[in-house]
Amino acid sequence: MCPSTPSDQHVHAPATSRIDVILGDVSARFARAGILDPRVDAELLVAHVLGVGRGEVQAAAIRAAEIDTVALERLMRLVERRAAREPLQHLTGVAPFRHLELSVGPGVFVPRPETEMVAQLAIDALRVSASPAPVAVDLGTGSGAIALAMATEVPHARVHAAENSVDAFIWAKENFARVNAPNARLVFADLADAFAELDRSVSVLVSNPPYVPTQAIPRDPEVRLYDPPEALYGGEDGLDVVRVLAGVGLRLLHPGGTIIIEHAELQGAPVREVLTAAGWRSAATHPDLTLRDRATTAIRP
């Protein structure tokens, strides 16, 4: 017999099929595993297994409704994996991003809520562009999140996205097909030399590059073990790719065009310095919804 705690046994073979009780047990299990929003993850996993929305799960819990055995077994297998800190989005296969639902899984960076605000900066810059068909570029698009948000929310823009990881590209391709925005195009390319045909014609260049300093290994297992390292680590100070973007942006953007780069909380000043030293004007850093510095913008002279 393998030793297990009473709570483990409980999760393996729940004494109940009542959704409200299961949600309580699973939340407690997730809390012990160090998951930040245990109840949210519990509700979303139940919703996934039942093929309904989270609100319906909450309603079912209030009614003390029951879950059938097959669904319960499936749920418990997913609960085990989530308790071992596999990302929720890998288990459900989807990640929300603004109004989109993107396919994600192993090999692609899971889109983050803070990047929704980076996409907002890009969308705003596109909307104020004087051009009737402004061109936007998303370098290192990953799942395609920022590019597809721009394409769908600014339909008069033309959006080009590049990704150079084979694994990530496969997910991006699926998402581009799923969203099917007529004004969005995806290419497999290195960000350093992507889109030579667009030189000096781009209005908005946006990127969520890898920016984690090599030594700053992320604490959360979901990030450390499941996000692709090439989407996370940006060299010793984390800014290797930012320096490349500063040069690529001068090539791609027309004068007056905007560059938007996501970065870590403490990288605002160094990113402004990189951009200003490369010749960019009006470098400005913007906070995310948790008031942490999250992105820097600048204007091409």
For ligand GLN, which residue of 87, 105, 111, 210 counts as binding (CB under 6 A)?
A: 210
- Tell whether residue 148 is a contact of ligand GLN (CB under 6 A): no
Interface with ligand GLN (CB under 6 A), residue total 9
Is the four-CA dihedral 164, 295, 175, 44 of positive or negative sign? positive
Sequence-ordered strand ranges (E) for the chain: 94-97, 100-103, 135-139, 158-163, 184-188, 202-207, 253-262, 281-287, 293-299
Contacts of 193 (CB under 8 A, 6+ apart): none
211 is in an annotated binding site: yes
For ligand GLN, which residue of 97, 171, 195, 211 counts as binding (CB under 6 A)?
A: 211
Q: Identify whether the C-beta of residue 165 lies closer than 8 Å to the C-beta of residue 120.
A: no
24 is in an annotated binding site: no
Which residue number has the CB closest to ligand GLN?
211
Residue type (1 letter), 248: V
- Tell whether residue 110 is a contact of ligand GLN (CB under 6 A): no
Q: Identify whether the C-beta of residue 297 lies closer than 8 Å to the C-beta of residue 258.
A: yes
Residue type (1 letter), 223: V
For ligand GLN, which residue of 42, 117, 161, 212 counts as binding (CB under 6 A)?
A: 212
Q: Among residues 135 and 139, whose Cβ is nearest to ligand GLN?
A: 139
- Tell whether residue 208 is a contact of ligand GLN (CB under 6 A): yes
208 is in an annotated binding site: yes
Find the part of the chain contacting ligand GLN (CB under 6 A) among 56-64, 194-202, 210-218, 284-292: 210-218
**CA angle, corner 43, sides to 37 and 49, nearest 5?**
135
Binding site as annotated, residues for S-adenosyl-L-methionine: 140-144, 163, 208
Binding site as annotated, residues for substrate: 208-211
Where does this chain bind ligand GLN (CB under 6 A)? 112, 208-212, 218, 223, 232
